[in-house]
Amino acid sequence: MITDPKSSKVRGVAKLNKKDARSETGLFLLEGPQGLKEAIARPELLVEVFVTAEAQERYQDLISNLDVPVQLVSESVMKVLSDTSTPQGTLAVCRQLDVSLDSVISAKPKLIALLANVRDPGNAGTVLRAADAAGADAVIFSQNSVDLYNTKLVRSTTGSIFHLPVVLGADLASTIASLKQADLQVFAATAGGDLITELDSVELRKPTVWMMGNEAWGFDDETLDLADRQVALPIYGRAESLNLATAASVCFYVTAMAQNS
Amino acid sequence: MITDPKSSKVRGVAKLNKKDARSETGLFLLEGPQGLKEAIARPELLVEVFVTAEAQERYQDLISNLDVPVQLVSESVMKVLSDTSTPQGTLAVCRQLDVSLDSVISAKPKLIALLANVRDPGNAGTVLRAADAAGADAVIFSQNSVDLYNTKLVRSTTGSIFHLPVVLGADLASTIASLKQADLQVFAATAGGDLITELDSVELRKPTVWMMGNEAWGFDDETLDLADRQVALPIYGRAESLNLATAASVCFYVTAMAQNS
């Protein structure tokens, strides 16, 4: 059992909570049993797993199914490894996945989520989870969006990070051009747009990219101009807007329900 | 200008970040200019406002429109008053609102959100904001749900807390009985339920209560039995579920879009 929170091993792993160390190593951290369960289906991505004694007992079936080294650690070591104040007792080191836009497009996608300058890890992770639930074929992160491998982001996907291809560091202009070329329509979700309830079902069912903008300022004009259409959710009450993840979820589901009806 | 973070005034206001002090005084804290803007429309609820010099200049129009005492405070005092590490520079003390189930029912509601044992303040606040956007007529918090006046919850509503009636401390059995009596159908949002896409439009358009359960364990059987129907969102991809606030938003919008179509 590793009990020294200051050992070089522990410090090395804990560093993966920082973007620099993730970029250097090509690794990231996956906290908690829920994500770990999903990671088992992608054994090529798992490197090693750290567990506390309590978690080892509690998640016995899960842990015994792992095909990678499992290292017992003390509670105090887990606190150092985790970025949360209440660690869930398991922490996996995983390899980063790299997917190209070409491979996404060649799979003839019907629904794609495109995050344009989304900065909050919790928001981005929840959007990724919602995209997965809605059956999206891929998620694309633009340049200047939050790092996909941010520990909080990974946690808030609850395993969806392993379920669908994610394209990283996309240049918005060239990416959107390629998506349009492949006959996807690009909707920018924005308060000033055409109401989604006024689109006809033929349009709603077309292969669609939902582009979500920055939490605070939305889109710059240049990015808006890249979209085929600006689309808004109706506000039936008095809220000024929805938050990013809830707006994205409704957009994805309206499209998915139309495409699957 | 108040500059002493340890003054009794400052400590008294900062205490409102705790539930006990809120219950004792009937007051709560509203952080940030966005919520304050909404509060101005409900002047009977505002007691006093604290601002930093920077915020006073930045939100000049907003601050000069206030009809209550405005107190300048130093940055270090604002840090003590606020529960966040990066305060937004304005903090209002507000009176709690008290709404009865009877008054909600007598307004002939078409859409109500019912939070049954929802515990996370960020989730609950985001659900309230989504309910407002979807035009819900009221939100009901059950006994054992998170305190509506939790500072983080209030902040995550971004002002929606002032937009629609909220009933607190509801006993689930008697509340649901009253809602059914008033010809509202009660849907429990739960993964095992009937798919929302299989409900016909007549049913979708009926006056509806969406009951959302606890983030971790959903509903107990007793509560599920109170609902008219268990309803699920389809999962088109591989996610096990949506998070509470995104699931709630999709449910509210599917109903609102059907009722308004």
Domains detected in chain A: 8-95 (3.30.1330.30), 101-259 (3.40.1280.10)
Most confident of A75-89, A174-188, B36-50: A174-188
What is the model's pLDDT at position B18? 96
- A237/B134 CB distance under 8 A: yes
Question: What is the arithmetic mean of pLDDT over B41-65?
Answer: 94
Using an 8 Å CB-CB cutoff, list residues of chain A that contact chain B: 126, 129-136, 156, 158-160, 163-164, 197, 233-243, 245-250, 253-254, 256-257, 260-261
Query: Which distant-in-sequence residues (6+ apart) come within 8 Å of B196 by Cβ?
Result: B204, B231, B232, B233, B234, B251, B254
- B243/A126 CB distance under 8 A: yes
Task: Indicate the helix (H) or strand (E) that contains B35.
Answer: helix B33-39
Residue B151 pLDDT grade (very low, low, confident, very high; cuts 50, 70, 90): very high
Question: What is the arithmetic mean of pLDDT over A88-109?
Answer: 95
Q: DSSP code of A81?
A: H
Rounded-to-integer distance, Cα B159 and Cα A123, Å: 19
Task: Please write down the HEC assignment for all residues of B149-175.
Answer: CCHHHHHHCCCHHHCCCEEEEECHHHH
Rounded-to-integer distance, Cα A248 and Cα A79, Å: 33
The minimum CA-CA distance between B4 and chain A, rounded to whole Å, is 30
Question: What is the arithmetic mean of pLDDT over A217-240?
Answer: 97
| Antiparallel, parallel or unpaired: β A90-95 and A111-115 | unpaired
Residue A97 pLDDT grade (very low, low, confident, very high; cuts 50, 70, 90): confident
Q: Which of B129, B160, B242 is opposite residue A133, by nearest beta carbon?
A: B242
Per residue in A44-60, pLDDT tens?
A: 999 999 999 999 999 99
CA distances from A8 to A15, A47, A177 (A): 10, 18, 47
Per residue in B182-211, pLDDT tens?
A: 999 999 999 999 999 999 999 999 999 999
Per residue in A111-154, pLDDT tens?
A: 999 999 999 999 999 999 999 999 999 999 999 999 999 999 99
As for the ipTM of the complex, it is 0.94
Amino acid at A59: Y
- B238/A158 CB distance under 8 A: no
Using an 8 Å CB-CB cutoff, list residues of chain B that contact chain A: 126, 129-136, 156, 158-160, 163-164, 197, 233-243, 245-250, 253-254, 256-257, 260-261
Which residue is listed with tokens 């007793």?
B222
DSSP helix/strand/coil, A33: helix
Amino acid at A176: I
- A238/B163 CB distance under 8 A: yes
Per residue in B233-249, pLDDT tens?
A: 999 999 989 999 999 99
Per residue in B85-138, pLDDT tens?
A: 889 999 999 999 879 999 999 999 999 999 999 999 999 999 999 999 999 999
Q: Which two tokens stand for residue A41?
A: 């289906």
Residue of B129, B212, B243 to mutate, interface with A, max A Cβ within 10 Å = B243
The total of other beta-carbon atoms located within 10 Å of residue A101's CB is 20
Nearest to B48 by CA among B34, B64, B66: B66
Residue A183: Cβ-neighbour burial (10 angstroms; 0-12, 13-18, 19+)? exposed
